[in-house]
Amino acid sequence: MSLEFTASEMMSVTAARALRNDMICFVGIGLPSEAANLARLTHAPDVTLIYESGTLQTRPDVLPLSIGDGELCESALTTVSVPEMFRYWLQGGHVSVGFLGTAQIDRYANLNTTLIGDYRSPAVRLPGGGGAPEIATHAREVFITVKHSRRTFVNAVDFITTVGFGRDGKAREGVPNIGRGPSLVITDLCILKPDPDTRELVVTSLHPNVTREDVIEATGWDIRFATQLERTPAPSAEELEVLRDLKARSDAHHSSQP
């Protein structure tokens, strides 16, 4: 009998699988944090999670609401200052992968978390970059988790907060001491990877019960599909059990706080 799961659960499980046990991961709040902690609680118990507030080897029992959540510091091996975090750990090349979310992403994996609309008169102001631009610059590679819709997957982001591969796909060419950039984009519909030549995002795997038409309708540009298009494996019973328990535990904890 096949297991029932939601599109959001499929995305979190798929993102978690991308992390390996030997990785040092700089984790963003929200979907990246959910996926990273699911990986830690399943197949990658020794993955090192680092949050922007300076917490190293964090092992939270519940998902944090922000980088300032006390759960992160209490469950970390140690906590260092934010300047040390960025200067030594990130700029020093010690971070294997940065796990990021975004409000907008375009065909060249540029991210926008600054504003929607015109810069001088925006329709919406967003939280800003935080540490994402530095993570995308100095982490060896970047994984992005985001829900798939035309509002998010746009032809060109309104503002480049975090550079993927620039407006033409060539922003990282010839630039020294910089990470390889986005290597994986995981949504609730599919997996995308940058084309090795053009750096344009290409769909490499469709999630269960998702069609090409579903992805085309949810993307704001003429999306390309890999010649050898794969089908993402469905979540296992263990992955779903651990994920659901983690989210229920987190919801109960946060709702009980004053």
- Element holding 187 (H helix, E strand): none
- Which tokens is 149 given? 């819709």
Cβ-proximal residues to 230 (8 Å cutoff; 6+ apart), any chain: 191, 204, 205, 206
Residue 52: partners with Cβ closer than 8 Å, 6 or more residues away: 26, 28, 67, 82, 85, 130, 131
Q: In a 3-state reduction of DSSP, which class is residue 181?
A: coil
Amino acid identity at 48: T
Nearest to 27 by CA among 76, 88, 74: 76
| 4, 9, 34, 52: the active-site residue | 52
Which pairing describes strands 224-231 and 201-206: parallel, antiparallel, or unpaired? parallel
SS3 204: strand
CB neighbour class for 139 (10 Å; exposed up to 12, middle 13-18, buried from 19) = buried
In whole angstroms, give the CA distance from residue 172 to residue 162: 12
Does 141 participate in catalysis according to the annotation?
no
**Amino acid identity of 144?**
I
Across the strands, what pairs with 141? 97
Q: Which two tokens stand for residue 145?
A: 């988790």
Instruction: List active site positions.
Output: 52
